């Protein structure tokens, strides 16, 4: 790294803060963490060279406070700010404030963030650049009557979308003309509440598509690399749960076409840094631009594993004005990667967010297993932030082998203290439809009754007792005398087996 960036403020928390701090240290950069009162014991705080307190737990008063973050960066002697994902990562005013303070924003220009944040402007830009967009409007509808006319021209079903939206908020499916006026008003007020702007536009509704996204990297020297697709169809209420790369639905020819479209999309807004172009891939093989995410994404590790690239390192290089450390153009995937998001949610109780202290944590390991976590034993999971505890990512030569490896890793994982999505992921890995790659955005809704049957659904009974037993078992195994030829493996105690059964709940 050149001298322009020596120290980076990481304006985030949890696993992504730790991920960015690790990348900084590998590049010889110093890191500065920030933390709210709720996070003072979090791993990202200790991993950084220094840490700056932000104040009370609510994000508005900590991780979303632009003035506090910029002041923290200046006062701690940083030259750059990495926003991570979520929080301020796609807020043009933050990118601007960072720049105005004489700091480097690790991400695209405020103009690129703005252009992609306005969904109708993004559609106009994509259309001009020859990127396929979903048939529909490129300007918001003036009123409900105008929306009715637009819909009549497009043909039903149509989807009403918030022009400043994203992530599915303010979206309304309309199957017939009779519903449109009411749906329009409802979408408007939802959009107003969520984004402070009520502009609504229409798209033709695509039935049972896959969500497939292309990762790109662009530097300040005009080089662009496309790192193939991620299959992200397994989601629930617009929260992804499992992602993989490559997608079983994408042939090399389709990958080339989607990558070229994504490269054109990035060029159309003068994009610099790591970005993702989301597409709907229809059952007939057509694909359509949906939106562009102008940040590093949660699921970036599956791309890293099949392309052998460190995306956060590349972000830092690009921010420092260096050329990309990977070849320009379309890269080739190798093998298969799967990510399971381990969240503090109870899959047997409608994924109700769970809170509590992680009493015991055994992290999976071994060949091809990566754990990107942000929580350790003793940490409390609260409702102040998203429920992600860690991402479990595996790589193997083939999709089948990766599924087998994920099953194995999920069975090694032990989390005591609060319900998690672990058992859900195991069931998906065993689901014949998933194994056949029969995925689309309706997968979870279609399969959840089947997948989550037999679930006991009770929170762990005695987390402290179970954690104590597991710790005692570890110590006993470590202390016990070894005999030559015994392989060093302790026979599990009855307690350990019981604790594991409880932790996995459906085994």
On whether the CB atoms of residues 87 and 64 are closer than 8 A, the answer is: yes
Rounded-to-integer distance, Cα 164 and Cα 114, Å:
10
Q: Which of 125, 295, 447, 505 is catalytic?
A: 295
Kindly indicate which of the ranges 204-212, 376-384, 388-396, 496-504 contains the residues binding ligand MV4, using the contact rule CB under 6 A.
Answer: 204-212
Q: Does 10 bind ligand MV4 (CB under 6 A)?
A: no
Residue 55 Cβ vs ligand MV4, minimum distance, rounded to whole Å: 32
Residue 211 Cβ vs ligand MV4, minimum distance, rounded to whole Å: 4
In the bound state with ligand MV4, the residue whose beta carbon lies nearer, of 280 and 338, is 280
Kindly indicate which of the ranges 121-129, 200-208, 216-224, 338-346 contains the residues binding ligand MV4, using the contact rule CB under 6 A.
Answer: 200-208
Q: Does 116 bind ligand MV4 (CB under 6 A)?
A: no
Kindly indicate which of the ranges 16-24, 88-96, 205-213, 344-352 contains the residues binding ligand MV4, using the contact rule CB under 6 A.
Answer: 205-213
Q: Does 134 bind ligand MV4 (CB under 6 A)?
A: yes
Element (H, E) at 448: helix 443-451
Q: Does 441 bind ligand MV4 (CB under 6 A)?
A: yes
In the bound state with ligand MV4, the residue whose beta carbon lies nearer, of 180 and 467, is 180
Asked about 505 being catalytic, the answer comes back as no
Q: Find residue 80's DSSP bridge partners.
A: 8, 104
Signed CA dihedral, 23, 28, 29, 34: sign only: positive
Rounded-to-integer distance, Cα 383 and Cα 17, Å:
18
Largest CA distance in the chain: 83
Kindly indicate which of the ranges 99-107, 201-209, 212-220, 444-452 contains the residues binding ligand MV4, using the contact rule CB under 6 A.
Answer: 201-209
Question: Counting beta carbons within 10 angstroms of the beta carbon of residue 195, is it exposed (0 to 12), middle (13 to 18) or buried (19 or more)?
Answer: middle
Q: Does 395 bind ligand MV4 (CB under 6 A)?
A: no
Closest CA to 315 of 341, 294, 330: 294
- Candidate list 203, 219, 231, 314; residue touching ligand MV4; CB under 6 A: 203
On whether the CB atoms of residues 140 and 122 are closer than 8 A, the answer is: no
Closest CA to 501 of 454, 477, 466: 466
Residue 121 Cβ vs ligand MV4, minimum distance, rounded to whole Å: 16
On whether the CB atoms of residues 160 and 184 are closer than 8 A, the answer is: yes
- The residue count for binding ligand MV4 (CB under 6 A) is 16
Site for ligand MV4 in 339-378 (CB under 6 A): none
Kindly indicate which of the ranges 83-91, 163-171, 187-195, 318-326 contains the residues binding ligand MV4, using the contact rule CB under 6 A.
Answer: 163-171
- Candidate list 142, 182, 193, 238; residue touching ligand MV4; CB under 6 A: 238
In the bound state with ligand MV4, the residue whose beta carbon lies nearer, of 109 and 235, is 235
Angle at alpha carbon of residue 18, lines to 14 and 22, rounded to 5°: 175
Q: Where are the beta strands (DSSP E) in 314-379?
A: 329-330, 336-343, 345-346, 352-353, 356-357, 360-362, 369-373
- Candidate list 120, 235, 297, 421; residue touching ligand MV4; CB under 6 A: 235
Question: Counting beta carbons within 10 angstroms of the beta carbon of residue 408, is it exposed (0 to 12), middle (13 to 18) or buried (19 or more)?
Answer: middle
- Candidate list 93, 168, 222, 492; residue touching ligand MV4; CB under 6 A: 168
Site for ligand MV4 in 287-346 (CB under 6 A): 290-291
Residue 361 Cβ vs ligand MV4, minimum distance, rounded to whole Å: 30
Rounded-to-integer distance, Cα 216 and Cα 397, Å:
23
Contact residues toward ligand MV4 (CB under 6 A) are 134, 159, 166-168, 203-206, 211, 235, 238, 280, 290-291, 441
Give catalytic residues, as residue numbers: 295
């Amino acid at each position: 790294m050149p001298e322009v960036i020596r120290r980076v403020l990481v304006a985030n928390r949890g696993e992504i803060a730790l991920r960015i701090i690790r990348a900084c240290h590998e590049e010889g950069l110093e890191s500065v963490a920030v933390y709210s009162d709720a996070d003072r014991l979090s791993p990202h705080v200790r991993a950084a060279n220094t840490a700056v307190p932000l104040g009370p737990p609510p994000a508005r008063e900590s991780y979303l406070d632009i003035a506090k973050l910029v002041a923290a960066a200046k006062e701690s002697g940083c030259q750059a700010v990495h926003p991570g994902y979520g929080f301020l990562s796609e807020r043009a005013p933050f990118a601007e404030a960072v720049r105005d303070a004489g700091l480097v924003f690790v991400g695209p220009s405020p103009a690129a963030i703005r252009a992609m944040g306005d969904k109708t402007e993004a559609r106009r830009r994509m259309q001009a650049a020859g990127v396929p967009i979903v048939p529909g409007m490129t300007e918001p509808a003036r009123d409900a009557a105008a929306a009715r006319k637009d819909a009549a021209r497009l043909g039903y079903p149509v989807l009403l979308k918030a022009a400043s939206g994203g992530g599915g908020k303010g979206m309304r499916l309309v199957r017939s003309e009779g519903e449109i006026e009411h749906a329009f008003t409802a979408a408007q007020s939802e959009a107003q509440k969520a984004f402070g702007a009520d502009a609504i536009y229409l798209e033709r509704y695509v039935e049972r598509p896959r969500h497939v996204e292309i990762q790109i990297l662009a530097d300040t020297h005009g080089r662009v690399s496309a790192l193939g697709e991620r299959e992200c169809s397994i989601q629930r209420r617009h929260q992804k749960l499992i992602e993989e790369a490559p997608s079983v639905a994408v042939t090399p020819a389709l990958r080339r076409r989607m990558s070229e479209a994504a490269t054109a999309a990035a060029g159309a807004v003068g994009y610099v840094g790591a970005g993702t172009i989301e597409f709907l891939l229809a059952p007939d093989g057509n694909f359509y631009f949906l939106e562009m995410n102008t940040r590093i994404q949660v699921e970036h590790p599956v791309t890293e594993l099949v392309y052998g690239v460190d995306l956060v390192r590349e972000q830092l290089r690009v921010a420092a004005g260096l050329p990309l450390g990977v070849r320009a153009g379309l890269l080739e995937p190798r093998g298969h990667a799967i990510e399971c998001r381990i969240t503090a949610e109870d899959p047997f109780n409608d994924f109700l967010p769970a809170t509590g202290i992680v009493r015991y944590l055994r992290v999976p390991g071994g060949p091809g297993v990566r754990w990107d976590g942000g929580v350790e034993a003793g940490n409390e999971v609260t409702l102040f932030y998203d429920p992600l505890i860690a991402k479990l990512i595996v790589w193997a030569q083939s999709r089948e082998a990766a599924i087998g490896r994920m099953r194995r890793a999920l069975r090694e994982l032990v989390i005591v203290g609060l319900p998690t999505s672990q058992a859900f992921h195991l069931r998906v890995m065993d689901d014949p439809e998933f194994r056949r790659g029969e995925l689309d955005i309706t997968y979870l809704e279609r399969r959840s009754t089947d997948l989550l049957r037999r679930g006991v659904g009770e929170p762990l009974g005695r987390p402290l007792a179970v954690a104590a037993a597991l710790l005692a078992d570890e110590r006993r195994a470590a202390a016990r005398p070894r005999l030559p030829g015994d392989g060093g493996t302790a026979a599990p105690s009855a307690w350990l087996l019981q604790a594991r059964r409880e932790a996995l709940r459906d085994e």
